[in-house]
Amino acid sequence: MKTRIKEFRARHDLTQAQLAEQVGVRRETIVFLEKGKYNPSLKLAHDIAVVLDASIDELFIFEDEN
């Protein structure tokens, strides 16, 4: 999975820690998300999208496992 969280976070001038606080997770979770090493729950993906004023489809690019 690839994400554009870092790009959208920069547009909103938010640090990883600030985004994490707003969505109720640890900063490390945001780090893992930005590196594509963690697949978020639908609720977390939604919460991040709301904070970053984006759609889930804009933020997360899900690739086929094949």
Domain ranges across the chain:
2-61
Reported CATH class of domain 2-61: mainly alpha
pTM: 0.91
Task: Give the separation between CA 11 and CA 15, rounded to whole angstroms.
Answer: 11
Which portions of the chain are predicted below pLDDT 70?
A: 64-66
Confidence (pLDDT) at 65: 59
Confidence (pLDDT) at 62: 77
Q: Which of 65, 63, 64, 39 is nearest to 5 (CA)?
A: 39
